Amino acid sequence: MAEIIIAGAGHGGLTAAYNFARNGYSVTVYEKKQRSELGYGWKDSMSPSAFNFCGMPMPEKKVFTPGVPNCYYSPSAEIKLLPPDPVNYSKYIDRKDLYDILIENCESVGVKFNYGANIRSATVSGDRVTGFMTEKDGALSEVKGDLIIDAAGVDSPVRTSLPASVGIQNILADNEVFYVYRAIFDRKTDESLDPPYGVFFYRQDRPGIDWIVCEENSIDILVGKFGKMTMDEVDASIADFRERYGFIGDNMISGGGGIYRIPVRKTLPLIVANGYALVGDSAAMAEPLSGSGITMSMKAGKMLADAFIVDYSEDFSAARLWRYQYRYFNEIGNGYLSQDIYRSALVQMTSDDIEYLLREKIITIKEIEGAGSYVFNDIADKVRGIGGRRSLIPIFVRAGAALAAAGRTAKAMPSTYDKDAVTEWAALYGK
Ligand SMILES: Cc1cc2nc3c(=O)[nH]c(=O)nc-3n(C[C@H](O)[C@H](O)[C@H](O)COP(=O)(O)OP(=O)(O)OC[C@H]3O[C@@H](n4cnc5c(N)ncnc54)[C@H](O)[C@@H]3O)c2cc1C
């Protein structure tokens, strides 16, 4: 029987594990943390329909908290933008509850777990990934599999150690990563933001996004930046929030575990190779601007399994795995190309630029809630509108051209695997 090994108990890996195992494959997950350490001390947005999509039983309603409308603030906080009603908000779920659900599902179909296994690097033979090296209790050993699923997150030790012969992009540029800190504090007073969920752009001249969520008994603060962020920047942001908003308490209730990294770029050009497939953050599938990393990872895990379980195949060649990549890009990945162009344009802008674009209504709530999908529509109108700030014109023109090219690239993706054609397409997409 084919042996599938999964690097990291990411959401995408667990979803793939569940679907492969219930269709007769032998699956083992290797995770560096202990079972009790998985998850964070907060709730995150996800789409409950992901469970249906992934062939999993719908969890009880009580694990989901209803979403709330976001209010967006300009860098000076003088401009406030509210979404029009009605909006279909995502739901929130505690990450520990989510892990419990995913792992219980996996265990119910015989997936094996190996916790405390710190993966060090990939093992490769020619252009085929054959396994990985893990360190457990001080001993290093090699684990081999017929298919290696990489669900070990943005800094996956498997992906980052692959040699060029495998053909996978293993390094992300610094501004393709969103650095983020999150902590939950107690409340000093009963006051709140109105509405209670505020998203703040480019505060303190930092190219990033912060938020404050006023809960009944606590205040949830996130500080984020496109590119490397230091704890000094985090502390300065929280101190400034405290000065402006007297309701933020001094005592941290949960979170605060340091600065995390989330990929913020289009999906990697190639997410499959011989014996190897990437899912989730390790493939840069997350889209932090729209809070979709969990849902995308899970859907990718299901699509990966679907490519094999339709006719029980043990052929894990790149050619067979291409079915997964082709479907993922057509159903999800290509739809995020415009957000990547939005992000590339944003990181070239200053706080003053953002203040100007919001004040002049060149970027409106429609563009923000669409997480960039519409920003460069009607590009000619937008360029005319930014006449008062000429330095923005080339950024918008380049973005418009990139958007047109992205549409052509998406259409040019080969539907069946031919190594030369796929390599050529990946180079085009990578640009
Ligand atoms: C502060 C914050 C807020 C977020 N908010 C949201 C949100 O609201 N909605 C949303 O959808 N997404 C959100 N995300 C993003 C989301 O966490 C990710 O997109 C999602 O978790 C990706 O899942 P994944 O399957 O790629 O695996 P990951 O969650 O990245 O998990 C990777 C796993 O691999 C393990 N691993 C790593 N290295 C090794 C190793 N060497 N050996 C063995 N195991 C290893 C890790 O311990 C981890 O368990 C947020 C992220 C952060 C940090």
User: What is the per-residue pLDDT across 89-101, written as a single tens digit (0 to 9) for each?
Assistant: 668 899 999 999 9
- Asked whether residue 116 carries a pLDDT value surpassing 70, the answer given is yes
Is the CB–ligand 1 distance for residue 133 below 6 Å?
Answer: no
Q: Which atom of ligand 1 is nearest to the CA of 297?
A: 25
Q: Which residue has the tokens 């979404």?
A: 83
Is the CB–ligand 1 distance for residue 275 below 6 Å?
Answer: no
Q: Which atom of ligand 1 is nearest to the CA of 261?
A: 53
pLDDT of residue 97: 95
pLDDT of residue 1: 84
Exposed, middle or buried, 173 (CB in 10 Å: 0-12/13-18/19+)?
Answer: exposed
Q: What's the rounded mean pLDDT across residues 369-379?
A: 59
pLDDT of residue 387: 78
Q: What's the rounded mean pLDDT across residues 148-162?
A: 98
Entry pTM: 0.95
pLDDT of residue 70: 82
Is the CB–ligand 1 distance for residue 263 below 6 Å?
Answer: no
Contacts of 1 (CB under 8 A, 6+ apart): 24, 25, 26
Q: What's the rounded mean pLDDT across residues 171-181?
A: 93
Measure the CA–CA gap between 7 and 159, rounded to whole angstroms: 10
Is the CB–ligand 1 distance for residue 262 below 6 Å?
Answer: yes
Grouping H, G, I as helix, E, B as strand and the rest as coil, residue 116 is coil
Nearest to 151 by CA among 197, 113, 190, 191: 113
pLDDT of residue 340: 85
Is the CB–ligand 1 distance for residue 32 below 6 Å?
Answer: yes
Nearest to 215 by CA among 261, 244, 254: 254
pLDDT of residue 210: 97
> 51 C-alpha to center of ligand 1: Å?
18
- Asked whether residue 339 carries a pLDDT value surpassing 70, the answer given is yes
Measure the CA–CA gap between 259 and 23, rounded to whole angstroms: 38
Measure the CA–CA gap between 73 and 144, rounded to whole angstroms: 50
Q: Which helix (H) or strand (E) holds 381?
A: helix 379-385
In this prediction, residue 318 has a pLDDT band, given cuts at 50, 70 and 90, of very high
> 4 C-alpha to center of ligand 1: Å?
21
- Asked whether residue 351 carries a pLDDT value surpassing 80, the answer given is yes
- Asked whether residue 206 carries a pLDDT value surpassing 70, the answer given is yes
- Asked whether residue 85 carries a pLDDT value surpassing 70, the answer given is no
Is the CB–ligand 1 distance for residue 304 below 6 Å?
Answer: no
Measure the CA–CA gap between 16 and 27, rounded to whole angstroms: 9
Nearest to 71 by CA among 54, 51, 85, 50: 85
> 7 C-alpha to center of ligand 1: Å?
13
Measure the CA–CA gap between 81 and 69, rounded to whole angstroms: 11
Q: What's the rounded mean pLDDT across residues 369-397?
A: 73
* Among 118-127, 205-214, 332-341, the least confident range: 332-341
Q: Which atom of ligand 1 is nearest to the CA of 134?
A: 42
> 30 C-alpha to center of ligand 1: Å?
15
Contacts of 401 (CB under 8 A, 6+ apart): none
Measure the CA–CA gap between 401 and 169, rounded to whole angstroms: 24
Is the CB–ligand 1 distance for residue 428 below 6 Å?
Answer: no
Q: What are phi and psi of 78, to 5 degrees?
A: -80, -30
Q: Which helix (H) or strand (E) holds 80?
A: strand 80-81
Write the residue with the smallest CA distance to atom 37 of ligand 1: 152
Is the CB–ligand 1 distance for residue 103 below 6 Å?
Answer: no
Percent of the chain with pLDDT over 90: 75
Joined tokens for residue 412: 């040019």
Measure the CA–CA gap between 426 and 106, rounded to whole angstroms: 33
* Among 16-20, 159-163, 190-194, 403-407, the least confident range: 403-407
- Asked whether residue 86 carries a pLDDT value surpassing 70, the answer given is no
Measure the CA–CA gap between 288 and 177, rounded to whole angstroms: 10
In the chain the first and final C-alpha atoms are separated, in Å, by 40
177: β partners: 263
pLDDT of residue 375: 54
Fold of the domain spanning 3-66+91-172+265-331: FAD/NAD(P)-binding domain (3.50.50)
Measure the CA–CA gap between 299 and 13, rounded to whole angstroms: 10
Percent of the chain with pLDDT over 70: 95
Measure the CA–CA gap between 130 and 122, rounded to whole angstroms: 8
Is the CB–ligand 1 distance for residue 11 below 6 Å?
Answer: yes
- Give the CA count within 13 Å in the CB-facing half-sphere of 412: 16
Is the CB–ligand 1 distance for residue 31 below 6 Å?
Answer: yes
Measure the CA–CA gap between 178 and 222, rounded to whole angstroms: 12
222-261 pLDDT, tens digit per residue, is: 999 999 999 999 999 999 999 999 999 999 999 999 999 9
- Between CA 176 and CA 185, with CA 180 as vertex, the angle to 5 degrees is 170
pLDDT of residue 83: 75
Measure the CA–CA gap between 369 and 77, rounded to whole angstroms: 18
184: β partners: 220, 254
Q: What is the overall mean pLDDT for the chain?
A: 92
Q: Is the dihedral of CA 150, 156, 159, 161 positive or negative?
A: negative
- Asked whether residue 34 carries a pLDDT value surpassing 70, the answer given is yes
Write the residue with the smallest CA distance to atom 14 of ligand 1: 293
- Asked whether residue 350 carries a pLDDT value surpassing 80, the answer given is yes
Is the CB–ligand 1 distance for residue 47 below 6 Å?
Answer: no
> 281 C-alpha to center of ligand 1: Å?
7
Residue with more model confidence, 316 or 401? 316
pLDDT of residue 236: 97
- Mutate which of 44, 97, 211, 267 for ligand 1? The one with the most ligand atoms within 8 Å of its CB, which is 44
Residue with more model confidence, 290 or 371? 290
Q: What's the rounded mean pLDDT across residues 333-339?
A: 86
- Asked whether residue 16 carries a pLDDT value surpassing 90, the answer given is yes
- Asked whether residue 9 carries a pLDDT value surpassing 80, the answer given is yes
Q: Domain residue spans in the chain?
A: 3-66+91-172+265-331, 174-262, 336-411
Joined tokens for residue 239: 């101190």
- Please answer whether residues 327 and 344 qualify as being in contact, where contact means their C-beta atoms are separated by less than 8 angstroms: no
- Mutate which of 262, 289, 303 for ligand 1? The one with the most ligand atoms within 8 Å of its CB, which is 262
Measure the CA–CA gap between 426 and 272, rounded to whole angstroms: 12
In this prediction, residue 62 has a pLDDT band, given cuts at 50, 70 and 90, of confident
Is the CB–ligand 1 distance for residue 209 below 6 Å?
Answer: no
Measure the CA–CA gap between 283 and 263, rounded to whole angstroms: 9
pLDDT of residue 89: 61
Q: What's the rounded mean pLDDT across residues 322-340?
A: 92
> 298 C-alpha to center of ligand 1: Å?
12
Q: Which atom of ligand 1 is nearest to the CA of 283?
A: 26
Residue with more model confidence, 376 or 79? 79
Residue type at position 419: K
Measure the CA–CA gap between 202 and 225, rounded to whole angstroms: 8
